[in-house]
Structure 1
Amino acid sequence: MLAVLNRCQDALDATRRLDFLGPLLLRLYLVPVFWMAGTQKLKDIDATAAWFGNPDWGLGLPFPELLAWAAALSEAGGAILLLFGLAVRWVSIPLMVTMLVAICAVHWPYGWQVIADPAAPFANERVLAAAEKLQRARALLREHGNYQWLTGSGQFVVLNNGIEFAATYLAMLLALFFGGAGRWLSLDYWLARRWRQQRTRMDGGA
């Protein structure tokens, strides 16, 4: 029995040869997320700064122009660096900061869920109240609209705007921060490998 378990463990350990796939897929998943977020901010940076700074209908943050540029460039530039696997641990830091700001300043009052689903865990009062509103909206659409056509691209939902997505992206970035860009398919790997080889030659010649 022990021999069988050891062989199973050896087979499991052998899969670590493909450990580069994890960070690669994390990077590729996050690239369009941050590219869209950053480029949308850059398209109208004045509006972005206004939203960052306005206390009535925005976030009410200090230095809104500086923060708007920092967030936009971190996201758009970070997407490019993630794509090529360059300076991934470094760029994960400002991206994690943007996610923390998004969680605390934007999404926190709405709870966990992005889409209101009363049957899901962590449903708060706002989510529970959305169920009746959604049922009523669907009834109106069935009565006065072509409901089959309206739902042809997907079911109607209520956007709750909770922290779910931002927290997920934060966890992914945290994994990249500690684990790096991964082997073989990242510039970080090849640059570090070259530097180590040069250091070895220098130490050998000293």
Structure 2
Amino acid sequence: MNWLVGQYYRLHNGVFGALRHVDWLAPLALRLYLVPVFWMAGTQKIAGMESTIEWFGNAQWGLGLPFPAVLAHLAAYTEAIGALLLLIGLATRWVAVPLLITMLVAAWSVHWQNGWAAIADSGAEEIAVRLGTARDILREHGNYSWLTEHGNLVVLNNGIEFAATYFVMLLALLFTGGGRFVSVDYFLARLYPRSGTARTKMLD
């Protein structure tokens, strides 16, 4: 048994140990995935700031948050500026923190009451009936083939799935940073090493 375990870990270390040479790919992929997500969310809020403030503050059809003007500007510019910083990998860990908070607020205030799924389960009877009715109406009164040319009709459930996914991705970046070789943070860290690192180099 010990021999098998040893053989497994030798194989494991041999195959996956080489990945350390390209460990910068994972944080780079996370950053590049999140950039358009936050850029579009932030710039859309900024472009329609008056509507954004109304949505943040209105308790009847919006979020009903206190200080809506302040929070709307904070959310919008955190997302837009955060996207730019993620793009170049500058202050990656620092910007992950307010973006994490933004995702928590979004999950709690916007999506929580809708459960987990972002897209409603089309197999559920209630959803299937609504989709079937929508298809019948569109086939009769609209150009159904054109409307569904690039994808099927779905019912938006608006659950926490996407917010939770982005939260997990940002949490990973909080711990990994922007990545070796592919972030401004990496090169700044080499220019300005921590005092302990600098002292070690002097002693070597």
Matched position secondary structure for 1:196 = coil
| Contact kept? 1:53, 1:61, Cα under 8 Å | yes
Between the aligned partners of 1:87 and 1:118, the Cα distance in structure 2 is 41
The one-letter amino acid of 2:99's match is L
- The aligned counterpart of 1:133 is 130
Is this contact kept in 1: 2:35–2:86, CA < 8 A? Answer: yes
Equivalent residue for 1:18?
Answer: 22
- Which among 180, 190, 198 is matched to residue 177 of structure 2? 180
Contact 2:38–2:80 (CA<8 Å) still a contact in 1?
yes
Question: TM-score if structure 2 supplies the norm length?
Answer: 0.89
Matched residue SS, 2:155? coil
Distance change in 2, residues 1:7/1:156 (3 Å): closer
Superposition map of 1:1-206 within 5 A: 2=6, 5-119=9-123, 129-196=126-193, 200=198, 204=202
| Alignment deviations for residues 56-75 of structure 1 (CA, whole Å, 9 cap, x no partner) | 11111111111011101100
Which of structure 1's runs of 4+ aligned residues deviate more than 4 A?
Answer: 1-5
Question: Hey, what's the Cα distance between the residues in 2 that align with 1:99 and 1:128?
Answer: 31
Gaps (5+ residues) in structure 2? none
> Could you say which residue in structure 2 is the equivalent of 1:124?
none
TM-score, normalised on structure 1? 0.88
- Measure the CA separation in 1 of the matches of 2:103 and 2:8: 45
Total equivalences in the alignment: 198
Change (3 A) 1:200 1:158: same
Q: Secondary structure at the match of 1:104?
A: helix
Q: Report the Cα offset of residue 204 of structure 1.
A: 3.8
CA distance, structure 1, for counterparts of residue 30 and residue 16 of structure 2: 21
CA distance in 2 between counterparts of 1:141 and 1:7 reads: 57
Partner letter of residue 51 of structure 2?
Answer: A
Distance in 2, Cα, partners of 1:189 & 1:7: 31
- Structure 1: gaps spanning 5 or more residues: 120-126
Q: 1:148 to 1:178 in 2, by over 3 A?
A: same
The Cα RMSD (Å) is 2.2
